[in-house]
A and B are shown apart, each in its own frame.
Chain A
């Protein structure tokens, strides 16, 4: 049975929780866009600037901060830091705000346990995000990113048999990066990023090295 009323607000909040960030995010992005035009509105024809596609390839480490307390009943050995690799393609028009897509592969959670009978087990929760992202430069080299979309989550369990279980979750991200130019079309930077899948409630904070390449310009 799935149809019910509730007199308690927490259930409603539980329902809303998965979408709260995503509801707020468009408002946030719209606000940025509203102010992000390089000049005031004019009906006069203006000259279009350069358009380009830019790829961001990032690799680094992520930390999932919320699990150790929740998992205490299992007395697990948690791998606190896990690899995070992402790739992002952004369309850079002649506007302050740019849009693009990001995907990648990360490990939210990685732990081993030993049960009371001495049987060992291993749990991995991996994710592949697919996010629509927006970015703008706050200074010449300092950029902020925000996006929302879906995370394809996979649990890999190896305890009394191997189990692979999948689930799709909505989610979001926010990041800030510093990019040092190497050439006219290439740069190297560092990015601090928060990746959050609603299904797992908390996010992973990642620090990545980033290679940036403007690979197509017109």
Chain B
């Protein structure tokens, strides 16, 4: 009896142990790359396109969509080439440089279905398209860009061969808004930045996003901040003894005492929108209204940043999210609600009542092609949320008529979209 209890107790303890998952971005230092020159901007556009894997398809799938993105910090702009792959929601994030007549691409890869990651390095040799790319000479039909490279697992030096050959340009015929959930991705997915942080917003376009959804809550002193969950909890923040609704705390208290999982502070909405306008090329922001009070101050901030974006020539749409009846009532109470850009998750009738620019049904309601067509006939758009499973993304992309897809995995949405023919 006592032995049985001891064994059972030992089982209880051992099965109760928590496994820590980590997917740290590996150290991508590469001496050759460090000594190379800046990649001329004329070389970038020609690299974009759909590439077929000639080596490495067993790990990353048959093809990859190569797309540049940038993040700006004053006069310093950093460009990243992302390769969005089909298999296991994998992607590469690379920086480019010029070395002689060749182009070097250096960065890392990651699979979102697990914690696999590693270093990735590519070379585009002079004879494989680099000479023409670097000189801005259009590639002829006989030319084809070839990315030769290697990848490694974890922090190990790259030793597995990769070879990608240019196949065709990216699909762009029918626009699609690729909206990244929680500012770019979820903290649970072990990305290098926490969800709903400024750092994550800066990275969103590297994961394929053209827009972001961010979660807006208020502090006790009515400062708008980004935070997904209703309460402070250790899924999203580092342990600090603070629990309960975020609305219980003042902004000063949160600013000093709370750090998100990757060490960032909880950003104000103002900081987040400033980042979107001045540091990214994002075209769309969905403000998911997660508080229930009056929203007139939120509308003021929406207007301010849309005006700031327009003033610097940025095309940016910011919409107020209407996720439930209470927010809808608060929205309809605004005297000029008909002219306020909004995205409504409720019924088509509610969309008309709020004169929302976007209808956003949840994906579990199905393709709803008829209703989407009705929205289009009224001059509105339709975005579906939240599609994460690749098969669902593929189905909604190819059988649905939505103008945007909200996802925690924008890279797979980007792959299926750009790879369309």
Tell me whether B12 and A28 are in contact (CB under 8 A): yes
Q: Which residues of B contact A70 (CB under 8 A)?
A: 238-240
Q: Which residues of A contact B345 (CB under 8 A)?
A: 1
Q: Which residues of A contact B385 (CB under 8 A)?
A: 1
Does residue A105 face the partner (Cβ distance < 8 Å to B)?
A: no
Tell me whether A201 and B239 are in contact (CB under 8 A): yes
Tell me whether A17 and B252 are in contact (CB under 8 A): no
Does residue B30 face the partner (Cβ distance < 8 Å to A)?
A: no
What's the interface size class on A, roughly?
35 or more
Tell me whether A111 and B12 are in contact (CB under 8 A): no
- Expressed in whole angstroms, the minimum distance between the Cβ of A75 and any Cβ of chain B is 12
- Expressed in whole angstroms, the minimum distance between the Cβ of B199 and any Cβ of chain A is 16
- Residue-wise, chain B 227-260 has the 8 Å CB interface mask toward A (1 for contact) of 0000111110011111111001110110011010
Q: Which of B234, B386, B389 interacts with A199 by CB under 8 Å?
A: B234
Does residue A188 face the partner (Cβ distance < 8 Å to B)?
A: no
- Residue-wise, chain B 382-394 has the 8 Å CB interface mask toward A (1 for contact) of 0001101110100
- Expressed in whole angstroms, the minimum distance between the Cβ of B225 and any Cβ of chain A is 15
Tell me whether A28 and B8 are in contact (CB under 8 A): yes
B-contacting 9-mer, from A39-47, A85-93, A153-161, A205-213? A153-161
Q: Which residues of B contact A115 (CB under 8 A)?
A: 256
Beta-carbon nearest neighbor of A20 in chain B: B16
Q: How far is the CA of A7 from the CA of B392 in the complex (A)?
A: 12
Tell me whether B362 and A3 are in contact (CB under 8 A): yes
- Expressed in whole angstroms, the minimum distance between the Cβ of B257 and any Cβ of chain A is 7
Tell me whether B16 and A155 are in contact (CB under 8 A): no
- Expressed in whole angstroms, the minimum distance between the Cβ of A37 and any Cβ of chain B is 10
Q: Which of A9, A14, A113, A144 interacts with B235 by CB under 8 Å?
A: A14
Q: Are A4 and B408 CB-contacts (below 8 A) given A11-B186, A21-B16, A155-B242?
A: yes
Q: How far is the CA of A199 from the CA of B244 in the complex (A)?
A: 10
Q: How far is the CA of A165 from the CA of B364 in the complex (A)?
A: 35
Q: How far is the CA of A66 from the CA of B239 in the complex (A)?
A: 9
Q: Are A123 and B12 CB-contacts (below 8 A) given A7-B409, A8-B113, A8-B190?
A: no
Does residue B47 face the partner (Cβ distance < 8 Å to A)?
A: no
Tell me whether B16 and A123 are in contact (CB under 8 A): no
Tell me whether B239 and A160 are in contact (CB under 8 A): no
Does residue B5 face the partner (Cβ distance < 8 Å to A)?
A: yes
Tell me whether B250 and A160 are in contact (CB under 8 A): yes
Tell me whether B242 and A9 are in contact (CB under 8 A): no
Q: Which residues of B contact A138 (CB under 8 A)?
A: 2, 5
Q: How far is the CA of A125 from the CA of B233 in the complex (A)?
A: 13
Q: Which residues of B contact A21 (CB under 8 A)?
A: 12, 16
Q: Which of A8, A73, A165, A201 interacts with B234 by CB under 8 Å?
A: A201
- Expressed in whole angstroms, the minimum distance between the Cβ of B20 and any Cβ of chain A is 9
Tell me whether B242 and A165 are in contact (CB under 8 A): yes
Q: Which residues of B contact A10 (CB under 8 A)?
A: 21, 188-190
- Extra contacts, 11 of them, besides A28-B12, A125-B243, A165-B248 (Cβ < 8 A), are A5-B388, A6-B388, A7-B89, A7-B113, A8-B112, A10-B21, A70-B238, A111-B241, A121-B257, A138-B5, A155-B241
Chain A positions near chain B (C-beta within 8 angstroms): 1, 3-11, 13-14, 17, 20-21, 24-25, 28, 31-32, 35-36, 66-67, 70-71, 73-74, 108-109, 111, 113, 115, 121, 123-125, 136, 138, 144, 153, 155, 157, 159-161, 163-167, 199-202
Query: What are 8 A-B interface contacts by the 8 Å CB criterion?
Result: A31-B4, A155-B242, A155-B243, A157-B242, A157-B249, A165-B245, A166-B243, A200-B234
